[in-house]
Structure formats: structure tokens, C-alpha cells
Structure 1
Amino acid sequence: MNKSEILQIIRGKLSEKTDYLEHLISETRAANNETKSSMGDKYETSREMVQQEINNLQVQLNENLKALNSLKLINTNQYSVIGLGSLVETEKGFFYIAVSLGEIRFQEKKIFVISTESPLAKAMQGKSKGDEFILNNLKQSIINLW
């Protein structure tokens, strides 16, 4: 498995999400400015709700930018022990330990991109090929590790 290519897919997805969030923030700010100029004071509540939505989008954008930045720390070399940047195969599937992103597809395979803080990543941390771990009373074996 080519971890560099998988990392590029992850970067691409995060970049798309960043662009989308920036676009939403820009549009929401423009709508908020139009509301301010044409509505008057009795619509203060709706303006506050729009501002809260902008704040929520900004939080999401900041988290996304932080995730993009953390990808710079990932080494795509072969791993012998599971940690940040590991691609792990168990009988339940493929898991790339990087950031919380969810499912991606690579070479007809589903790969779940998970954060180092996820319970699954913590259960696998420090394990090697052939080791077993238990999560939610389910025993899994590490079939392969890149």
C-alpha cells in the first residue's frame, strides 16, 4: 500500500473541506452585512443567530486547518510498531492513523482514517504485526502494518 498516495487523498479531502467552510463563512458574513444595512434594530436576534453560525463555522474551519497542519508530522516510512502515520490491516478492515476524517477509498479498498485519540487507535498503539488487541469486547488481530 502506498501511504504517500493515501496521505495525498487525505490532504485533498481536508483542503476541499477547508475551501467549502471558507466559502460558507464568506457567504454567511455577506448575508449578515445585508441584514444589518436593510433590516434595522428589531432584527437583532436573527443577526445574533447568524453570527453564532459564523462562529460555529469558524471553529470547524480552525479544527480542519489544525488537522491539515498535523499531517505534516506524518512520516510515510514503513512502521514496525503502530503509531501516528501507521496503516493497519485487521480482519475488520484498514485503518490509517492520522486525523479524524472517516472513510476514504484507495485502490478499491475502504480505509478508515482515524485520529490518534480514537479508542481504536489507542487500543492498537504500540502493537506490531501479529499482535492482538481488544476493543469493546471484540478481539482483533493485526494482519498487516505499513
Structure 2
Amino acid sequence: MNKQQILNTLQIKIAEKIHNFENLIAETRASNNDTKSSMGDKYETGREMLQQEINNLQRQLNETLGQQNILQKITSEPSSKVQNGALVKTDKGLFYVSVSMGEIMVDHQKIMTVSAESPLVKAMSGKKKEDHFSINNIQQTIEEIW
């Protein structure tokens, strides 16, 4: 398995997400400036709602920047145990321990990206090939680690 390709795919997705958040924040700020008028309290409520939306977008942007920071620390070096940057094949699926971005497709393979903080990764953390672990009363076996 090409871990560098998986890492590159995630970095591109994160960069696109950051770009989208930055654009949304800029557009929302611009519309917030457009509502500044002397028409009274009715527009104060609208401006406050737009400000809350900007704050929400900024929080999501900061989370995504944090994910980008985590990805920058991950290498594509082979792993012998489950840890950050490991690609883990169990009898239930293929998991890339990095950031939680959901399912991605690389070389026609479905790979679930999971955070090191997720319950799944905590259950299999430190395990090696052929080790067993259980999550939600479902037994899994680690078949391969890259």
C-alpha cells in the first residue's frame, strides 16, 4: 500500500477545506458589512446572526488547521504497530490513523481515515499484526500494518 499517496490525498482534501472556509468567512464578512445601515434594531439582529456564523466558520477553520498540523507531522514510514500514520487492515476494513476525514478512495481501495483519539484507534493502539481487539462487542483481528 502506498501510504504517501494516502497522506497526499488527505493533505489536498484538508487544503481545499481550509480554502473553502476562508472564502466563506470572507463572503460572510462582506455581507455583514453590507447590512450596516441606519435602519434600526431590525438590522442589529441580522448583523449579530452573521457574526455568530462568522464565529462558527472560524471555529471550524481552526479545527481544520489543527488537522493540517497533525498531518504535517505524519510520515509515510512503515509501521509495525498501530500508531499515528499507520495503515491498518483488519478483518472488518482498512483504516488510516491520522485525522478523521471519513472514507477516501485511493487506488480503488476504500480507506477509512480515523483520528488517534477515536475509540476504534484507542482499542487497537499499540497492537501488532495478528493481534485481536474488541470494540462495541465486535471482535476484530489485525491482518496487516503498513
TM-score category by the smaller chain?
over 0.9
Deviation at 1:39, TM superposition (A): 4.5
SS in 2 for 1:15: helix
Alignment partners' CA distance in 1, 2:87 and 2:38? 54
What does residue 113 of structure 1 align with? 113
Deviation at 1:33, TM superposition (A): 0.3
Runs of 4 or more consecutive aligned structure 1 residues displaced over 6 Å after TM superposition: none
SS in 2 for 1:36: coil
Q: Normalising by the residue count of structure 1, what TM-score does the alignment of the two structures yield? A: 0.96
Alignment partners' CA distance in 2, 1:130 and 1:51? 52
Alignment partners' CA distance in 2, 1:8 and 1:113? 13
Asked if the contact 2:96/2:113 (under 8 Å) is kept, the reply is yes
What does residue 129 of structure 1 align with? 129
Uncovered stretches (5+) of structure 1, i.e. residues with no partner: none
Cα RMSD for the two superposed structures: 1.1
The 5 Å alignment of 1:1-146 reads: 1-37=1-37, 39-146=39-146
Identity of aligned residues (%): 55
Inter-CA distance 124–39: structure 2 relative to 1 (3 Å threshold): farther
Alignment partners' CA distance in 1, 2:96 and 2:36? 46
Uncovered stretches (5+) of structure 2, i.e. residues with no partner: none
The aligned length equals: 146
